[in-house]
Amino acid sequence: MVVEPKTGLGHLDINNKEEINQAREYIKKELIIPEYDIFALLDALFELNRESISLEIESDMQQGYVIDRDNHFMKYFEKNGGGFKKLYQENPKAFGITVVSIPVYDEKSNIILVYLGTQAELLAGAGWVIAYRIEGEKLIELGRVMLWIS
């Protein structure tokens, strides 16, 4: 998996208030965590991700991901870059492009919200807001909401 080196919210335009409000209402309606109001944490997710930051983690081929710091993979999506077809021809082990947000964390409930989106072809991809609870050293998925699909 190729991971974009900067955080983001995928197809969401963080500067479009109407789009963000629609996403917020949709997520609040669809991501139900019993006895927990997701709204404040969701607002924090959007606010914290107003600006992209560089990921601090390093590539880990053993875990199956490469952080594309040198633009080796994203160059295929620049003008005349060849897109997914050329990406896969020249990098047969690559599988899609992933973007991840800065996660937000609620210390009282140990709940984390994060955006994760992957595009593997023009018509093969999806973006999700995912809720996890930290239990010891494990992340337990509590639910997810799909924001887009192609």
For residue 102, give its domain range.
2-149
Asked if 115 and 100 count as a contact pair (C-beta separation under 8 A), the reply is yes
Q: pTM, whole model, 2 decimals? A: 0.90
Residue type, 53: I
Closest among 89, 91, 95, 101 to 121, alpha carbons compared? 95
> pLDDT at position 52, please?
93
Give the bridge partners for 97, in sequence order.
Answer: 2, 119
Q: What is the pLDDT of residue 45?
A: 96
* Low-confidence residues in the chain, pLDDT < 70: none
- Pull the structure tokens for residue 76: 């295929």
**Structural domains counted in the chain:** 1
